[in-house]
């Protein structure tokens, strides 16, 4: 080729589509409708919904439940709501420092809690009073924690229910580490129903924005850990709505981490039970993690220090009131002839007795010695903590009367 010959002009590269937007705009989310992917079995009036592409995979689990199972779940829903109501009332009367209500989320927690086996382990946030009930944690212990008379409230290993975690999202990593430990102990995929175990990690929609949450999903996915992430999407992270937290629903994010995600009607206890049971069975069998998004609503305030009338409208609350989980389950039991008025009255009476019991127990809890706050910080004595305890005792003794 002559030196002065011109080289052929390079071909223009084919356009590359680096990104294609597939998500809706931030203001297009409908927080009252979970969409066609959501698993449901009972409508707002308690009517059994027909089999659909969304619920078909879980229908057998619901069909295998007995009338007694349904009555037991209804009882749990009513008693858990009554515990929550007492906690709220006790805080308002100055008996507790704080109370985070679960009002409206009873079905999500009872359905998930009832799907767990004895050897499974739960890692809650701080609102999982219904899961605690299902794990046989005495409700008095929950009240003791929020009254500030103990270091956490219960022995985690007695009920395989970890202590409440106040720091949002921390429990996701704790659960992942525990699940990987179960895996390495060989307690997964043996086929022994009394040995194979799984872990459940609970958080809210706000928790999905935390770094800990996303890191936990990375580790769980890569390790194929026996873990079920249970996100209660109650639509509000304190005063932040969903559209300020994520662009796609939490259940769709699981695919990016390499495992399945399912959205379930969080106010339908039968649907929650079925979806959670399937996910836990898969985890115990060695099939790895699942993310469940329970689509629900926080009917009350974030905690007793919050006023939701400042950031949400009453019409929104009214729409969700029509989806009340207890009304739905009661309608289902009545329509099937599984329960009568005598049964419902007996449950209400039991709820009254439970409320009176835990109220009395809370009010009679003794205040611990003040230096006790330094105890059990470490397993072994720690010189810094011991010095701080001595200084605190000396400071208290400097007041008139030594108190």
Which residues are annotated as catalytic?
A: 298, 302, 311
Q: Tell me the C-alpha distance between 278 and 230, whole Å.
A: 13
- Angle at which helix 106-115 crosses helix 67-92, to 10 degrees, equals 130
Q: Say if CB 164 and CB 145 are below 8 A apart.
A: yes
DSSP H stretches of helix in 285-340:
314-321, 325-336
Q: Tell me the C-alpha distance between 40 and 397, whole Å.
A: 61
Sheet holding 199-204, edge to edge: 121-123, 199-204, 227-233, 290-295, 261-265
Looking at the DSSP bridge assignments, the partners of residue 241 are 236
Q: Tell me the C-alpha distance between 273 and 282, whole Å.
A: 14
CA distances from 167 to 172, 207, 250, 264, 349 (A): 11, 10, 20, 26, 37
Q: Say if CB 175 and CB 201 are below 8 A apart.
A: yes
Q: Say if CB 274 and CB 58 are below 8 A apart.
A: yes
Structure tokens that stand for 141 in this block: 């212990």
Q: Say if CB 123 and CB 201 are below 8 A apart.
A: yes
Taken in order 62, 64, 68, 72, is the CA torsion positive or negative? negative
Q: Tell me the C-alpha distance between 269 and 123, whole Å.
A: 20
3-state per-residue secondary structure call for 370-397: HHHHHCCCCCCCCHHHHHHHHHHHHHHH
Give the gyration radius of the chain's Cα atoms.
25
- Other beta carbons within 10 angstroms of residue 375's beta carbon come to 12
Q: Tell me the C-alpha distance between 360 and 363, whole Å.
A: 5
């Amino acid at each position: 080729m002559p030196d002065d010959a011109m080289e052929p002009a390079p071909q223009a590269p084919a356009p590359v589509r680096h990104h294609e937007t597939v998500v809706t705009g931030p203001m297009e989310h409908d927080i009252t409708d979970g969409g066609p992917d959501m698993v449901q079995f009972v409508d707002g009036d308690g009517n059994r919904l027909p089999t659909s592409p969304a619920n078909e995979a879980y229908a057998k689990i619901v069909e295998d439940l007995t009338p007694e199972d349904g009555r037991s779940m209804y009882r749990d829903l009513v008693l858990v709501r009554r515990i929550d109501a007492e906690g709220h009332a006790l805080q308002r009367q100055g008996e507790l420092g704080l109370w985070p209500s679960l009002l409206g989320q009873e079905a999500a927690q009872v359905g998930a809690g009832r799907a767990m086996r004895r050897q499974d382990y739960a890692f809650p946030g701080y609102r999982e009073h219904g899961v605690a009930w299902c794990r046989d944690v005495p409700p008095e212990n929950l009240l003791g924690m929020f009254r500030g008379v103990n270091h956490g409230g219960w022995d985690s290993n007695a009920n395989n229910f970890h202590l409440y975690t106040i720091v949002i999202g921390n429990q996701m990593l704790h659960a992942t580490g525990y699940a990987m430990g179960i895996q390495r102990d060989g307690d997964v995929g043996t086929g022994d129903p009394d040995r194979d175990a799984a872990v459940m990690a609970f958080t809210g929609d706000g928790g999905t924005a935390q770094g800990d949450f996303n890191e936990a999903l990375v580790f769980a996915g890569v390790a194929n850990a026996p873990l079920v992430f249970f996100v209660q999407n109650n639509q509000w992270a304190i005063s932040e709505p969903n559209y300020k937290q994520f662009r796609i629903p939490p259940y769709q994010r699981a695919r990016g981490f390499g495992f399945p995600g399912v959205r379930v009607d969080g106010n339908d206890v039968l649907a929650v039970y079925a979806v959670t049971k399937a996910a836990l069975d898969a985890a115990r069998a060695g099939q790895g993690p699942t993310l469940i998004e329970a689509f629900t609503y926080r009917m009350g305030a974030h905690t007793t220090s919050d006023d939701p009338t400042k950031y949400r409208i009453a019409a929104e609350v009214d729409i969700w009131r029509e989806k009340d989980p207890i009304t739905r389950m009661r309608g289902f039991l009545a329509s099937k002839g599984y329960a009568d008025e005598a049964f419902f009255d007996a449950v209400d009476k039991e709820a009254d007795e439970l409320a009176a019991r835990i109220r009395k127990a809370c009010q009679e809890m003794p205040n611990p010695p003040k230096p006790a706050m330094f105890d059990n910080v470490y397993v072994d004595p720690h010189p810094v903590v011991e010095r701080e305890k001595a200084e605190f005792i000396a400071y208290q003794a400097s007041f008139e009367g030594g108190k």
